[in-house]
Copies of this chain bind each other. A is one copy, B any other.
Amino acid sequence: MTAVDPTSPARRGRGRPGYDQAAVLRAAVELFNRKGYDATSIGDLAKELGVTKPAIYHHFDSKEDLLRLALDDALDELTTLVSNASRGNGTAYARLRDVVHRSVEVLVAHQPSVTLLLRIRGNTAVEQEALERRRWLDDRLAALVREAIAEGALRDDVPPDLVSRLLFGMVNSLVEWYRAAGTYDAATVADALVTIAFEGLTRRA
């Protein structure tokens, strides 16, 4: 898939009139998030776009095909990010701060597909596979937290698995309230989140 200007809802692809693959996928993700994946049909998507069902099948084999591409959009960059953080140079503490900051930026850049990823329940093989990839990410991040505690850089009076859950729970909460058109850009939100999580809200003398 080629990059598409997200401000342009309708595009021509492969010389065929109508919506190109990226625009259909964007509309599908938006509809899955609004109505739920299970409750959305290819017919609903065609109706939403004002095209026929064959116009959708021109680009995608099935509804699951659309879901797989959307979830890969969310997971591929996060997987690269977390892999690099797990085996990078520097202290675990520095790598953890950095991966939290970058994950906020990835989440903002891919908000619709990450929203979908966080809402799937595992009813299909594609969803199961995505949830397995999510668990892999969670496990790597939890291991990085434990490594930073073992270094003595992170507080050790909170159970490590609660640290991981709460820290990335705060990151994931962004899908519910962050609006790209709002007041704060991704870097400002990432700075705020890292400051709160690592330094705490209490003012120090």
Residues from chain B with a CB closer than 8 A to the CB of A167 are: 196, 201
Residues from chain B with a CB closer than 8 A to the CB of A193 are: 166
What interface size band does chain A fall in? 35 or more
In the complex, the answer to whether A192 meets B36 with C-beta atoms within 8 Å is: no
In the complex, the answer to whether A154 meets B202 with C-beta atoms within 8 Å is: yes
Residues from chain B with a CB closer than 8 A to the CB of A174 are: 169
In the complex, the answer to whether B39 meets A201 with C-beta atoms within 8 Å is: no
- A159-B35 CB under 8 A given contacts A173-B169, A198-B201, A200-B199: no
- Distance of A159 from chain B, by nearest CB (Å): 7
CA–CA, A163 and B192, complex, Å: 8
Task: Check A47 for interface membership: any CB of B closer than 8 A.
Answer: no
Residues from chain B with a CB closer than 8 A to the CB of A152 are: 203
- A170-B162 CB under 8 A given contacts A36-B39, A38-B39, A153-B202: no
- A197-B200 CB under 8 A given contacts A39-B39, A170-B169: yes
